[in-house]
């Protein structure tokens, strides 16, 4: 990730989920390699991102996948949620996530699509789905389970508002 949208505040845990067309809110998908499409500016993830992936692999999640590149926002994203790793892995690698560095805002056009995505999700049965933060991530309350069938159905219905990669970034707030 050139610019990860990660924040940890108190007990907040940043979770970056991949949203695939077939399982939009599932937060799980196949791990694409670190490749990019033609015309992208970054052929490999930055050192910070790879440090997190390496830490996860070293501390209990050896199959944690490589990050994936999203050409629509020019950033690297985790292929699966770091929050899906064992608690001991998360704890061992927590120091690698910035605690108060705000990520830069996403481009206005992308932000507006994410707002429409949130509105669509709410209209499709997830009334407490939040609007995105300025960095484009969604601060999900712990009451929202992205793997819930109703949430997945809403995500599928609203996938037209996702970035071209099908990725969104979420972080769980307590």
Domain spans, the chain: 13-173
Percent of the chain with pLDDT over 70: 68
* Selection from 101, 74, 96, 76 nearest residue 85 by Cα: 96
Name residue, tokens 């490589």: 66
Between residues 7 and 135, the one the model is more confident about = 135
The answer for residues whose C-beta is within 8 angstroms of residue 132's C-beta and 6 or more apart is 106, 111, 114, 115, 117, 118, 138
Lowest mean pLDDT among 39-43, 58-62, 111-115, 156-160: 39-43
Kindly state the helix (H) or strand (E) to which residue 153 belongs, with its residue range: helix 149-157
Which tens digits make up the pLDDT trace of 77-97? Answer: 888 877 778 888 888 888 887
Per-residue pLDDT tens digits for 53-62: 999 999 999 9
Q: Using alpha carbons only, what angle is made at residue 136 by residues 73 and 74, rounded to the nearest 5 degrees?
A: 15
pLDDT of residue 15: 32
Report the alpha-carbon distance of residue 68 to residue 99 in Å, rounded: 23
> Quick one: pLDDT at residue 154?
92
| Residue 152: count of CB within 10 angstroms of its CB | 19
106-121: pLDDT as tens digits: 788 888 889 999 999 9
Average pLDDT, the chain: 72
- The confidence score (pLDDT) of residue 47 equals 85
pTM above 0.75, yes or no: no
- Provide the strand spans (E) within 31-164: 68-70, 75-77, 137-141
Q: Is the pLDDT assigned to residue 45 strictly greater than 60?
A: yes
Written as six digits, the tokens of 157 are: 């219905």
């Amino acid at each position: 990730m050139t610019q990860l949208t990660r924040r940890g505040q108190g007990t907040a845990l940043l979770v970056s989920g991949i949203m695939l067309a077939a399982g939009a809110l599932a937060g799980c998908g196949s791990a694409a390699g670190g490749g990019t499409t033609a015309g992208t500016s970054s052929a490999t993830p930055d050192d910070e991102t790879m440090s997190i992936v390496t830490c996860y692999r070293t501390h209990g999640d050896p199959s944690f996948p490589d990050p994936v590149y999203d050409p629509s926002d020019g950033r690297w994203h985790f292929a699966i949620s770091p929050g899906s790793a064992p608690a001991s892995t998360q704890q061992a690698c927590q120091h690698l996530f910035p605690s108060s560095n705000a990520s830069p805002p996403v481009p206005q056009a992308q932000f507006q699509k994410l707002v429409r995505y949130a509105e669509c999700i709410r209209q499709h049965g997830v009334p407490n789905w939040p609007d995105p933060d300025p960095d484009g991530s969604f601060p999900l309350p712990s009451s929202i389970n992205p793997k819930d069938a109703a949430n997945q159905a809403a995500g599928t219905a609203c996938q037209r508002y996702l970035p071209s990669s099908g990725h969104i970034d979420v972080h769980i707030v307590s």
